[in-house]
A and B are shown apart, each in its own frame.
Chain A
Amino acid sequence: MLAFAIRRLLQSVLVMLAVGFIAFSLFNFTGDPVALMLPPEATQADRDEVRKSLGLDEPSYVQFAIFVKNGLQGNFGISLRLGRPVSQLLIERLPATLELAMTAALLGLLIGIPMGIFTALKRDSWTSKVFLTGSLIGVSLPNFLIGIFLILIFAVWLGWLPSFGRGDVTQIGYWSTGFLTQSGLKALVLPAITLGFYPVTLIMRLVRAEMLEVLRTDYIKFARARGLTNHAVHFGHALKNTLVPVITITGLQLGGLIAFAIITETVFQWPGMGLLFIQAVQFADIPVMAAYLCLIGFIFVSINLMVDMLYYVVDPRLRVDRATSGGH
């Protein structure tokens, strides 16, 4: 276990270093950072001063080390567009994105799992066919279009729900939450449905496939032979075994949801990290892009690491697998 954990951890560190290197290259290949940071009337002495204070007179591997050190301390410099420290901007925006992504993931589980069970147990009913066709259309629909159609129907035509922003937020320490006010909850509905669309279809298909697979196994046949009721077989025996991969995939999807929130946040002008990032891309605001990249990279790598570790703990078969194919 320990050897596996250490090897996996080292891999994650390597990936993070690679991501950090890309972020670092962003700074170096996109013009002179000193020129960007100083007013045009600065003298050569000023430039040399800043160059030295940033460590830009050092060779590039030392610069990279400085960049990593600063990054670990959360120091990614000043946003070119907003003129404020990037880390501060990201911390302000983080709660909005996380609340949105969590709600979407929850929607995925709460709607996707029952729909998956239903389509697996009642394969030939027309409701199942509607669900499955709907999910195919859902996958083909670009996410932003779902958002636009929802806005058109529920905000413009019916006028039930707000179409942009977060509503009123309550500040709890560093965290600003929209869960506690009515307008905050109302504002969350449409973005969460938009972002949750993909996880719902994904989880539904996954649960259905797993369920069909499990229902064919011997222990289910045995359970039926013992005369257990359908209900006990389906929910006591079959469902339990389908949930492990479902939870893993949902966990892995959470990182994807945070990244995909870029699109949803743009459609609904949701003040999260994604909106910050897309504005950074439009304005070529390199410090924000680099910091967002590192943060998303970190989230992805830690989720992957946690899921791998959990798998290892939960599923003893993997230990044999890993031991034989290890170090590839």
Chain B
Amino acid sequence: MVDLMRRFFDGDVWHSFKRNPLVIVATVAALICLLAAAFAPWIAPHNPFDLKTLNLLDAFSPPAWTAAGKSEFLLGTDDQGRDVLSTIMHGSRVSLVVGICAVFLSMVIGITLGLISGYVGGALDAFIMRVADIQLSFPAILIALLIDGVARAVIAKENHDQVAVYVLIFAIAASGWVQYARTVRGSTLVERNKEYVQAARVIGRRSLAIMFSHVLPNVMGPVMVLATLHVGTAIITEATLSFLGVGVPPTQPSLGTLIRVGNDFLFSGEWWITVFPGLALVILVLSINIIGDWLRDALNPKLR
């Protein structure tokens, strides 16, 4: 482990990281978001979901630095008197969990299909890649919306709120697997003819074992870069779906839900209910995208 750490800190990636101030800022911002979200139940100034602590008299109070602001609510409160900063911290938690789970599931689906497609080949390969082509010609958001809509029709209304988060994760994952499958298939086509794969085949390992324990580790590099960039996209997709009113239920609001709810108060002048969750979303996604972009360049030896 110590050896691994030393190799990392001596390596090119760490060197390129140190020389890139934008990436350092982005990493710090992403870490703050991540920690604030992870420890929200313990460090948030208020508990926005504990109805006992809510006071309607606190509703619509503007940010603390304005004339009418109250010092205990740094970013103001919403229509039910909930502290905006605390709802943002809890909301980022939901957004991040959904985003990361969706990316992970997407990766699993994409890698599996890509490995099978590249290693087995033949009609199965042609079929999977045709489906991927068709899916790629439609925007991801449309596919996610469609899956969500179907789930709404199939699942009874009273059960829907409980499974809404899982449906959402699946919808986002299913709309993003193609990139992984294509990348993995491409690398697998190269790897399958290499000697170590042939050697494994000669000593009689089964195809499935060769695919997952020999080929997979060698095609993971580009997949990890894709995944980092995908987290940003997945969080945007989640926020968009929640904003459109088909995402997570209002009982466990994500950043998108908060923006949707706040949007209703834009015209009566309570801009902070929308703007701050919006800014939080932008900072989160922008910093993840900057890290992803940098990682892609730093890990790509051709660009050095």
- Contact surface of A with B, Cβ cutoff 8 Å: 15, 18, 26, 29-31, 136-137, 139-145, 148-149, 151-152, 156, 163, 256, 259-260, 262-263, 266-267, 277-278, 280-282, 284, 286, 289, 293, 296-297, 300-301, 304
Q: How far is the CB of B16 from chain A (nearest CB, A)?
A: 19
Which of A148, A277, A278 lies in contact with B245, CB distance below 8 A? A278
With A and B bound together, what is the CA distance between A163 and B146 in angstroms? 28
Say which one of B6-14, B236-244, B296-304 lies at the interface with A: B236-244
With A and B bound together, what is the CA distance between A2 and B48 in angstroms? 66
Which of B240, B278, B289 lies in contact with A140, CB distance below 8 A? B289
B85 at the interface (CB under 8 A from A): no
Q: Provide the residues of chain B in CB contact with A281, threshold 8 Å.
A: 145-146, 148-149, 152, 244, 246
Which of A152, A278, A280 lies in contact with B275, CB distance below 8 A? A152
Given A142-B285, A143-B240, A259-B139, A148-B278 contact (CB < 8 Å): yes
10 closest residue pairs by CB, A with B = A281-B149, A284-B153, A30-B153, A140-B286, A284-B152, A142-B236, A259-B139, A259-B142, A145-B278, A140-B285
A-B contact pairs, 8 of them (CB 8 A): A18-B134, A30-B150, A30-B154, A136-B290, A144-B240, A262-B141, A278-B246, A282-B152
Complex contact B246–A282 (CB within 8 A): yes
With A and B bound together, what is the CA distance between A15 and B243 in angstroms? 31
Q: How far is the CB of A36 from chain B (nearest CB, A)?
A: 10
Residue in B closest to A297 when the chains form the complex, CB atoms: B138
B84 at the interface (CB under 8 A from A): no
With A and B bound together, what is the CA distance between A267 and B239 in angstroms? 13
Q: Is the interface of B mostly helix, strand, loop or mixed?
A: helix
Q: Provide the residues of chain B in CB contact with A267, threshold 8 Å.
A: 263
Given A145-B282, A148-B266, A151-B266, A15-B232 contact (CB < 8 Å): no
Complex contact A262–B282 (CB within 8 A): no
Q: Provide the residues of chain A in CB contact with B263, threshold 8 Å.
A: 148, 267
Q: Provide the residues of chain A in CB contact with B138, threshold 8 Å.
A: 259, 296-297, 300
Which of B142, B269, B274, B286 lies in contact with A148, CB distance below 8 A? B274
Q: How far is the CB of A160 from chain B (nearest CB, A)?
A: 15
With A and B bound together, what is the CA distance between A163 and B282 in angstroms? 22
Residue in A closest to B232 when the chains form the complex, CB atoms: A140
Complex contact B266–A282 (CB within 8 A): no
Given A31-B153, A281-B152, A148-B141 contact (CB < 8 Å): no
With A and B bound together, what is the CA distance between A301 and B134 in angstroms? 10
Which of A26, A136, A263, A304 lies in contact with B137, CB distance below 8 A? A304
Q: Provide the residues of chain A in CB contact with B246, threshold 8 Å.
A: 278, 281-282
- Over the window 113-151 of chain B, the binary record of Cβ atoms lying under 8 Å from chain A Cβ atoms (1 yes, 0 no) is 000000000000000000000100111011001101110
Q: Provide the residues of chain B in CB contact with A262, threshold 8 Å.
A: 141-142, 145, 244
Complex contact A263–B240 (CB within 8 A): yes
With A and B bound together, what is the CA distance between A284 and B155 in angstroms? 10
Q: Provide the residues of chain B in CB contact with A148, threshold 8 Å.
A: 259, 263, 266, 274, 278
**Best-buried of B141, B149, B240, B275 by chain A (most CB within 10 Å):** B149
Residue in A closest to B255 when the chains form the complex, CB atoms: A142
Q: How far is the CB of A54 from chain B (nearest CB, A)?
A: 18
B17 at the interface (CB under 8 A from A): no
Interface residues in B236-270 by Cβ distance below 8 A to A read 236, 239-240, 243-246, 259, 263, 266-267, 269
Q: Provide the residues of chain B in CB contact with A137, threshold 8 Å.
A: 282, 286
With A and B bound together, what is the CA distance between A142 and B277 in angstroms? 12
Q: How far is the CB of A137 from chain B (nearest CB, A)?
A: 6
